[in-house]
Amino acid sequence: MVWFVKFLVFITLLVSSTIESAPESALITKLPGFDGSFPSKHYSGYVTIDEKHGKNLWYYFVESEKNPSKDPVVLWLNGGPGCSSMDGFVYEHGPFNFELPKKKNTSLPLVHLNPYSWSKVSNIIYLDSPVGVGFSYSNNESDYETGDTKTAVDSHAFLLKWFELFPEFQSNPFYISGESYAGVYVPTLASEVVKGNKNGVKPALNLKGYLVGNGVADAIFDGNALVPFAHGMGLISNELFESATKACNGSFYEINGPECEAKLIKVNEDVDQLNIYNILEPCYHGTSLSAFDIRSLPSSLLQLGKTEKRLAIRKRMFGRAWPIRAPVRPGIVPSWSQLLANLRVPCIDDRVATAWLNDPAIRKAIHAKEESEIGKWELCTDKLAFSHDAGSMIPFHRNLTLSGYRALIYSGDHDMCVPFTGSQAWTESLGYKVTDEWRPWMSNDQVAGFTQGYANNLTFLTIKGAGHTVPEYKPREALNFYSRFLAGSKI
Ligand SMILES: *[C@@H]1O[C@H](CO)[C@@H](O)[C@H](O)[C@H]1NC(C)=O
Ligand SMILES: *[C@@H]1O[C@H](CO)[C@@H](O)[C@H](O)[C@H]1NC(C)=O
Ligand SMILES: *[C@@H]1O[C@H](CO)[C@@H](O)[C@H](O)[C@H]1NC(C)=O
Ligand SMILES: *[C@@H]1O[C@H](CO)[C@@H](O)[C@H](O)[C@H]1NC(C)=O
Ligand SMILES: *[C@@H]1O[C@H](CO)[C@@H](O)[C@H](O)[C@H]1NC(C)=O
């Protein structure tokens, strides 16, 4: 009898130890340059999705600082295509804020805790996707030729393996999120997950919904968005808006005859020197990427980008999306180096991320392969031959929302790269009943933007004054709408 009880205890221990099996080898125990204590557990490492090719996707997982066993698990994806999701980790909503070292002879950025980290209310997985991006790599370079559909299938394969590695999170609510070109990754991946669940693929993923920020959705809606945005923001004259609308017959996504073309060229000339990612921000043009040093700028200019973050916002980001007159169309999406061959190089400052993620001690600590094995970490890679092959996202959004998945489509309203006017128009075009009529939403007792709620749990939301990468500009407001959405409460 005693033996039997002991045996039962033994079995129970055995079973529970196989359930509670977050891989200890993936745990991050120390980050050089950060001497505080971690507010929650951090894990990182590779998940092999094709043994034969040696195809490995890299993730960084931050447990919730609130209640990891109950809080949602959220997957975060940056866009490009070709940009690392560590962009979001370093500059947007990760657990740390990074600061350039004051002394020029130290290369490691200073690391502080981020009071507005999305890990305050959720478990969050930053995934470098597709393979070839960030720290993800394949031993067979043919894998770098990819597209929307293959990316979704691969990320789904990653999720299945990841939830096997972290089985204790299988029953948490699960959300997929991302921005910019991830406006394609998110709904296509969500559809793969739904399909997998329907076909009984194990483990079942407890998908509840998704979030897309300044996301690409549809060539026509996104292509039509700039002219009304430029007019509404006071960037072009009434006269030009009216004559362009007439010449182009109200449709700007493709050039409709020489008169229309002439008007669109004029629109483009008017807005060309603005910072495409946030029209309120200054933009510096330089020919040398390394010549730009934020510390050498007059302090009055730095004030323009001031927020509650320690780090001044990057004055110009690079590789998030595409220039104004090139909305995403079916077929090969050009890489930045291809585009830049005939474009002025915008000034950028991604040195904090580049310095941190290429430091050998940091790479070792976060279980990323060495530079000698997989090369330098780059914010956005031009390694990929990437094809936009999934078409418009509208049918995906329709299917997902009609199947009961909750969707938050949010826009920094000063982004000119994927302007809110496009997202506003396509969400409205679904024709769902308005259940929460256009109204301001509040953060810290101030209007933080506007929202319109639709039937089928579809919400459109703007963030006032934010650019393309919302939490980078408005970290407090971003954490507010994010937590309210996840909690299912009114934003
Ligand atoms: C950096 O320079 C300062 C003063 O020039 C020196 O005291 C310090 O030791 C240097 N630090 C490193 C890491 O080389
Ligand atoms: C890489 O993958 C392709 C497609 O599966 C295959 O044809 C090729 O032989 C592989 N190359 C190597 C070196 O394994
Ligand atoms: C202009 O657009 C309207 C619909 O918006 C369409 O009926 C009409 O044929 C178009 N005209 C031209 C010249 O394209
Ligand atoms: C949407 O759902 C319909 C009906 O189930 C299906 O035929 C169609 O392929 C789906 N479209 C997308 C883009 O998921
Ligand atoms: C919207 O989501 C809530 C959970 O937050 C759920 O109870 C409700 O059924 C959903 N509504 C629709 C129309 O799917």
pLDDT of 345 strictly over 80: no
> Residue 169 pLDDT more than 90?
yes
Question: pLDDT exceeding 70 applies to what percent of the chain?
Answer: 81
Do residues 142 and 131 touch, judged by C-beta distance below 8 A? no
Distance 107 CA to ligand 1 centre (A): 11
Structure tokens at 152: 């979704």
What local confidence, expressed as pLDDT, does residue 138 receive? 97
* The pLDDT of residue 309 is above 90: no
The residue with tokens 């323009």 is: 304
CA of 31 to the centre of ligand 5 (A): 41
- Regarding the beta carbon of 21 and ligand 2, being less than 6 Å apart is answered no
- Opening angle at CA 347, ends 372 and 132, nearest 5: 30
Q: Residue 8: left (phi > 0), alpha (psi -120 to 50), or beta?
A: alpha
- Give CA–CA dist 172/479, Å, rounded: 20
How many other CB atoms are found less than 10 A from the CB of residue 17? 9
Q: Is 142 a pocket residue for ligand 2 (Cβ < 6 Å)? A: yes
The answer to whether the CB of 106 is under 6 A from ligand 1 is yes
Spell out the domains of the chain, with CATH numbers in brackets.
27-219+389-487 (3.40.50.1820), 222-346 (no CATH)
d(CA 487, ligand 5 centre) in Å: 12
Task: Find where tokens 């998940």 sit.
Answer: 47
In this structure, how many other beta carbons lie within 10 angstroms of the beta carbon of residue 126?
Answer: 26
Q: What is the pLDDT of residues 259-296, one digit of tens each?
A: 998 999 899 889 887 888 888 887 654 333 333 333 33
Q: What is the mean pLDDT of residues 112-133?
A: 97
Q: Model's pTM, two decimal places?
A: 0.87
**What percent of the chain shows pLDDT beyond 90?**
69
What is the structure's pLDDT at 331? 63
Q: Which ligand is nearest to the CA of 402?
A: 5
Q: Which residues form ligand 5's pocket by a CB distance below 6 Å?
A: 404, 406, 456-457, 488
Across the range 50-70, mean pLDDT stands at 97
Cα(120)–Cα(72) distance, rounded to whole angstroms? 11
Which residues contact residue 59 at a Cβ distance below 8 angstroms, ignoring those fewer than 6 apart? 44, 45, 47, 125, 126, 127, 128, 158, 162
Is residue 383 within 8 A of residue 132, CB to CB? The reply is yes
pLDDT band at 350 (very low <50, low <70, confident <90, very high): confident
pLDDT per position as a tens digit, 178-193: 999 999 999 999 999 9
Amino acid of residue 348: I
